[in-house]
A and B are shown apart, each in its own frame.
Chain A
């Protein structure tokens, strides 16, 4: 198939960016979206032009590195699919595809389609862990957890930290990401000791990083490649309220 691509090009953090238009031939439907990008880059390099920079690594939908805003949707037209798992059979011959980076003040653009998501790391550093040093654990089966709870914790822990929730949110809120991590630990017995401090510290870091507030539009859930449920945000709000009203350190 033959495609027209409109891609955001920006040399570095400071430079002004703009859309460039490219046409690409010989795309087949079995190709993944990133393989289509590889072919575009091959063409650009043969013309002695700079390749389009984009983040990607595992290409199996799990590392969370790929991050393209395709035709107005994070990770493109298919639901519950990362950009790397999107295939060209989702497009038609003659299509024009618009490709942008994640757009959010808390995710500054580094180059072209590559953004800086280190704010996510900072949120986790603020409390996204159980403080258990190596060697101090009890036998694994000494902590029984009923299957339903364990499954719910796993549902939340499946978040890949790609940032699609932020890119899709009109407020650029990272609440879905934050709530997935808070829920994962709040549900488990291992997470209880630091439950209140965790949610307060992580929420504060979220706000300081420049992410917006949640107004429950549900765009994050609709665009999440791992189908993380918005009910985690409800749990986050409950956890936050509980901690804010009863935390002994306050």
Chain B
């Protein structure tokens, strides 16, 4: 009886070890990532240019080598009276539209398709036109002044960029307005600490919600700003300019 007891565990181990070794050989050695790459589009329609530009790229699985941008996609920009198939420009590395004039508050659609990827669709509504109340052309601007403009319909984000007439850029800032604002006020002192006196061209731009979402809304790592079926941004901006003499006092 005693002999039987002492042998039992030995045989159990002998039985167990091959099973264990068999299982160990079946072990997984790779990570099976479940992700299908998608199109990645970047385009901001702007009234400052006649031809609109769309960059078409793709997402990559994490360990996939980076490739060139996609140059054989079908990219169509459309509105009620517009249907434009964009052409790929090798030097610009993006798709360029035919010349046309953007309509403020008009909605433009985009469709991008390429073999091996889901079709990407997007839409943007161009921000409304606005008036720069101050400074007007030829006005003098000081640190104590506030740039004042009428609200751009559909926009809650603005930017102000100063460009020296003699060449070179001056200060730049972003400004968020409240939805209830009818007048947008941007104090100069908030962002301009030191710069040369002189003549400047001021570029004031308003941005649609897609742009705002792409750059200012934090959280989701998958940016789908105005697009579905892929990632990226399809947004728009409306730009107005004025010239002024900036005086520091």
Pair from one complex: no
| Residues of chain A at the chain B interface (Cβ within 8 Å) | none
